Amino acid sequence: MTLVVSSMQFRRARSKQKSSLSPCFTLLFLLFWSLSSSFPTGLLAQDKKIALTFDDLPALGPFGFWRPREISNIILRTLKQRGIKAAGFVVEEKVDDEPSTYVVLLDWASRGHIVGNQTYSDVDLNQLSAEDFLHHVVDGQKYLRRASRTHPFNYRYLRYPFLHQGDTKRKKENVAKALYNGGYETAHVTVKTSDYRFNPIYIENEQDPEKIAQLKSIYLEHIGKALDYAESQSQNVFERNINHILWLHCGVATANFLEDLLEMLQNRGYQSVSFPEALADPAFTIEENYVGPLGLSFIDRVAAGRGLPFDPEQGELSSREIEARLVER
């Protein structure tokens, strides 16, 4: 026997079914919403934020046939295309050596990027007295002050060269106190990289597109591993993924690979934020008390102070290792 149901009967049956199930679905929805709103947001969807920072402005050699402003402008164009505000740290001795490069500071400041102090000649605090180091900090302000009069910005961020913040407790405390009294903030790093070691190898191979493509792959793998470590260590130390600050340098390799790097960060779920926004993470208010010869990320400095494991070799990649990997490919 063929069962025939009219369209009217079918609609009535569906209507009854919906009316009997709707309260149940509504109750489940309200229950889920109630529970989800009670969870910390980090348990449901953790925001991943990262700030980009570039050391050694106006630019870091070797240059080959490139000029410092050319390298800087590639970085600035890429940042503008992505709507990203970054931070650059200046070694003012470079400007004294080549006065025409002062315009690079103006380029960065006029586009709304942070321009901070990396001491006058990129000196190592571990090799100097606190007093001598602070003289280099003061001397490193001359062009920053001049640029800030043209394009007002706060230049009182110090990037410690080599990430060395003092090999004795007294030296570290004296420098930190003087910087605080001078209105300075420490330009922390959470993701260490050796991007600058790619520069000479880029110059040597820039006429070989295949080699450059291979070098870019090694570069991205290296920074990807540095991010892996920083994320894992952040969970170990802070029990969450804090705002990250990526340590890069204003060199030819990073300039030409930056677009691909930004794509990689986006694919990893990162949102690029300004340097001050990254520093606003409460984690950076935690006092770290590591004293020693190592150049550590902020996360590892806190880990060392708490007696937690850390790997000082993370983020390190020698030129020899890069060249060996390039040969393998």
Q: What is the CATH number of the domain that holds 73?
A: 3.20.20.370
Does 11 map to a domain? Answer: no
Q: Domain limits at 263?
A: 48-328
pLDDT tens-digit readout, 231-278? 999 999 999 999 999 999 999 999 999 999 999 999 999 999 999 999
What's the pLDDT at 18?
40
Does 283 map to a domain? Answer: yes
- Which tokens is 293 given? 């010869």
| Beta strand extents in 21-123 (DSSP E only) | 48-57, 87-90, 114-117
Does 256 map to a domain? Answer: yes
What's the pLDDT at 47?
84
The predicted model scores a pTM of: 0.86
Q: Cα(281)–Cα(147) distance, rounded to whole angstroms?
A: 28
Q: Which of 125, 244, 108, 240 is nearest to 176 (CA)?
A: 125
Does 36 map to a domain? Answer: no
Residue 309: alpha-carbon gap to chain centroid: 22
What's the pLDDT at 5?
37
Q: Which residues contact 275 (CB under 8 A, 6 or more apart)?
A: 51, 53, 85, 86, 87, 114, 157, 187, 245
Residue given tokens 């000082």 in the structure block: 312
Number of domains in the chain: 1
Task: Give 10-residue mean pLDDT values along the chain (329 residues).
Answer: 38 41 40 38 62 98 97 98 98 98 98 98 98 98 97 97 98 98 98 98 97 98 98 98 98 98 98 98 96 98 97 96 93
Instruction: For the beta carbon of residue 320, count every other beta carbon within 10 angstroms.
Output: 9
Does 35 map to a domain? Answer: no
Does 243 map to a domain? Answer: yes
Between helix 142-150 and helix 102-110 the angle, nearest 10°, is 40
What's the pLDDT at 199?
98
What's the pLDDT at 42?
37
φ/ψ of residue 246, rounded to 5: -90, 130
Does 10 map to a domain? Answer: no
What's the pLDDT at 46?
58
What's the pLDDT at 329?
79
Q: Which of 321, 96, 99 is nearest to 225 (CA)?
A: 321
Between helix 209-238 and helix 298-306 the angle, nearest 10°, is 40
Instruction: For the beta carbon of residue 153, count every other beta carbon within 10 angstroms.
Output: 17
Does 30 map to a domain? Answer: no
